[in-house]
């Protein structure tokens, strides 16, 4: 990240672009599908994967996002629920960074409540015909393959039909994408709409080994775990930038670092980053031991993203006016974390997941 990303990230962010050629470099590093076994994947522990997410996001959330979506969403879905043929076709190329994946769950009208999705797949002889659209899809416009979640056998009624996953290769007739422009957050990441118009797929394009919302939600557990670590990378980068700035910027005849209020800000930032790291390490170890419940992951996602964002905002104040430019990493990370707070379950959704775990009461609907 230090050698290949930090020198260019300001420009990529400003130009609203993700450098596609970096996919291959990330593949060579071994971070794509890093915690998966076989099929060219590195097969590391969850903790090692988390540490990689931390360093990726210390560069930019766009890079951690790319790796999350590739490895924890698209590749994980294929790995956990795909046929042997689907795995052989896609996983080695995706691990190498030769093929890019995306994961389409959210729709314009169904974000926090994916169970309402309207995208549907109708059986027609030996095929399925997909209609609908997916919104806010990371990597959508640059993906070689999309994992699309759709309702099968849907009657006319709202929320009828079982949710199934489909493997949709780029170039399939009836499948197109449209990038979402003018984002002020995660600008070094492609976010797109996926459009399915009478998109005909052979029956073996369906992921055979899962049905129901449990499929996509299991993938989210993996990606959310990466975010538990990753967000702290963004926070750490802002803390380091603020510490360095405070030591050199002089006002009233002494460095900002010599004022008690600045020291309190820096100490509180350091405390939250380290408390968050201990949480991440604990959740990662639970995962490696096979004992992580999805509520543990929600605990980490809610706390660590919220606190990392607070650290970035505090760092921004220490940099004064300099804090609002791309000359320093702070406002870029701060703006990125606004997306991270929302995607993979908003802070409100994770609050309600934990509220339900504590009280036994479902307060979603
Ligand atoms: P509910 O009735 O509770 O459950 C339906 C079925 O799913 C199972 N389940 C889970 N399985 C695995 N992991 C989890 N975390 C699970 N949560 C629930 C559940 O057991 C049940 O299974 P079954 O077999 O009994 O049917 O579902 P609900 O409709 O009430 O929804 C629950 C809720 C609100 C928590 C869920 O919908 C949710 O998490 N909503 C947030 C949506 C979200 O996070 N979307 C993210 C989209 S992907 C993305 O943002 C990528 S950004 C990536 C990047 O760029 O880094
Ligand atoms: P809504 O669900 O409309 O929520 C709006 C507000 O209402 C939020 O504050 C929410 O917490 C609150 N709210 C909703 N329901 C309740 C409730 N019951 N109680 C209290 N408050 C509630 N999705 C994918 O499928 N794949 C991707 O790759 C992907 N990448 C993304 C990349 C970016 C940059 C962004 C911004 C989003 C991405 N998403 C992706 C979509 C993301 O998962 C959704 O934005 C997220 O799930 C929230 O949905 P929404 O934006 O529709 O907000």
Take residue 207 and report the two structure tokens written for it.
């992921």
Q: Which residue lies with its CA nearest to atom 25 of ligand 1?
A: 214
pLDDT at 156 over 90: no
Mean pLDDT of 297-310: 98
Q: What is the spatial distance between Cα 203 and Cα 201, in angstroms, rounded to a whole number?
A: 6
pLDDT of 160 = 84
- How far is residue 185's CA from residue 190's CA, in Å, rounded to a whole number? 11
Give me the DSSP letters along 30-82. T-TTTTS-STT-----HHHHHHHHHHHHHH-HHHHHHHIIIIIIIIHHHHHH-
Q: DSSP letter at 162?
A: E
Position 136 scores a pLDDT of 98
User: Mean pLDDT, to the nearest integer, of 138-159?
Assistant: 90
Report yes or no: 336 and 230 within 8 Å, Cβ to Cβ.
no
Question: pLDDT digit string (tens) for 310-360?
Answer: 999 999 999 999 999 999 999 999 999 999 999 999 999 999 999 999 999
For residue 103, give the 3-state DSSP assignment. strand
Structure tokens at 57: 């996001």
**HSE of 347, CA atoms in CB hemisphere, 13 A:** 13
> Which atom of ligand 1 lies at the shortest distance from residue 138's CA?
55
The binding-site residues of ligand 2, defined as CB within 6 angstroms of any ligand atom, are 69, 103-106, 111-112, 136-138, 186, 191, 339, 342-343, 346, 348-349, 352, 364
Residue nearest to atom 37 of ligand 1 (CA): 113
- The structure tokens listed for 299 are 């605990």
Residue among 114, 318, 140 at smallest CA distance from 217: 114
Look at the block and give the residue holding tokens 């209609």: 131
d(CA 41, CA 35) in angstroms, rounded, equals: 7
ipTM of the complex: 0.99
Look at residue 157 in the predicted model and tell me its pLDDT: 66
Topology of the domain covering 214-359? Butyryl-CoA Dehydrogenase, subunit A; domain 3 (1.20.140)
* Over residues 250-254, mean pLDDT: 98
Residue nearest to atom 49 of ligand 2 (CA): 111
Q: Identify the CATH number of the domain defined by range 9-100.
A: 1.10.540.10
pLDDT tens string 216-246: 999 999 999 999 999 999 999 999 999 999 9
Percent helix, strand, coil in the chain, to 5, is 55, 15, 30
Q: How far apart are CA 87 and CA 343, in angstroms?
A: 27
pTM attached to this predicted model: 0.97
How long, in residues, is the chain?
Answer: 365
* Sequence-distant (≥ 6) Cβ neighbours of residue 320 within 8 angstroms: 249
Please check whether residue 135 is in contact with residue 177, taking contact to mean a CB–CB distance below 8 angstroms: no
Structural domain boundaries in the chain: 9-100, 103-205, 214-359
- Across 241-255, average pLDDT: 98
9-100 and 103-205 in the same fold: no
- pLDDT value, residue 263: 98
**Interatomic CA distance for residues 110 and 96, integer angstroms:** 33
The CATH number assigned to the domain with range 103-205 reads 2.40.110.10
Residue 175, helix vs strand vs coil: strand
Rounded percentage of the chain residues whose pLDDT exceeds 70: 99
Residues 357 and 361: their CA atoms lie apart, in Å, by: 8
Percent of the chain past pLDDT 90, that is, above it, reads 98
Per-residue pLDDT at 354: 98
Residue nearest to atom 45 of ligand 2 (CA): 343
- What is the band of 159 on the pLDDT scale with cuts at 50, 70, 90? confident
Q: Is the pLDDT of residue 158 over 80?
A: no
Alpha-carbon distance of 60 to 73, in angstroms, equals: 19
Ligand 1-lining residues (CB < 6 angstroms): 65, 68-69, 105-106, 112, 114-115, 138, 212-214, 217-218, 220-221, 223, 294, 343-345, 349, 353, 364
């Amino acid at each position: 990240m230090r050698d290949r990303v930090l020198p260019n990230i300001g420009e990529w962010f400003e130009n609203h672009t993700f450098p596609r050629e970096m996919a291959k470099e990330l593949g060579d590093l071994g971070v794509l599908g890093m915690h998966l076994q076989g099929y060219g994947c590195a097969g590391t522990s969850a903790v090692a994967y988390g540490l990689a997410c931390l360093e990726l996001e210390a560069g930019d959330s766009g890079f951690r996002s790319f790796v999350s979506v590739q490895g924890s969403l698209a590749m994980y879905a294929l790995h956990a629920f795909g046929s042997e043929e689907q795995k052989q076709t896609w996983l080695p190329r995706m691990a190498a960074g030769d093929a890019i994946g995306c994961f389409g769950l959210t729709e314009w009208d169904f974000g926090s409540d994916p169970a309402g999705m309207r995208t549907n797949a109708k059986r027609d002889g030996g095929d399925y015909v997909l209609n609908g659209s997916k919104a806010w899809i990371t990597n959508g416009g640059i993906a070689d393959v999309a994992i699309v979640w759709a309702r099968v056998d849907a009657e006319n009624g709202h929320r009828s039909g079982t949710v199934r996953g489909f493997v949709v290769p780029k170039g399939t007739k009836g499948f197109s994408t449209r990038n979402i422009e003018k984002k002020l957050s995660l600008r070094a990441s492609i976010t797109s709409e996926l459009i399915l118009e009478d998109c005909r797929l052979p029956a073996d394009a369906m992921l055979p080994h899962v049905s129901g919302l449990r499929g996509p939600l299991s993938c989210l557990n993996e990606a959310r775990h990466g975010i538990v670590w990753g967000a702290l990378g963004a926070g750490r980068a802002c803390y380091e930038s603020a510490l360095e700035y405070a030591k050199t910027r002089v006002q009233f005849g002494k460095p900002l670092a010599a004022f008690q209020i600045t020291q309190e800000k820096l100490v509180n930032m350091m405390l939250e980053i380290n408390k968050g790291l201990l949480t991440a390490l604990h959740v990662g170890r639970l995962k490696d031991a096979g004992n992580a419940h999805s509520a543990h992951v929600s605990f980490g996602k809610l706390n660590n993203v919220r606190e990392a964002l607070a650290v970035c905002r505090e760092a921004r104040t220490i940099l004064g006016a300099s804090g609002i430019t791309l000359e320093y990493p702070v406002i870029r990370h701060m703006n990125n974390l606004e997306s991270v707070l929302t995607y993979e379950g908003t802070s409100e959704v994770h609050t309600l997941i934990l509220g339900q775990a504590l009280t036994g009461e479902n307060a979603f609907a």
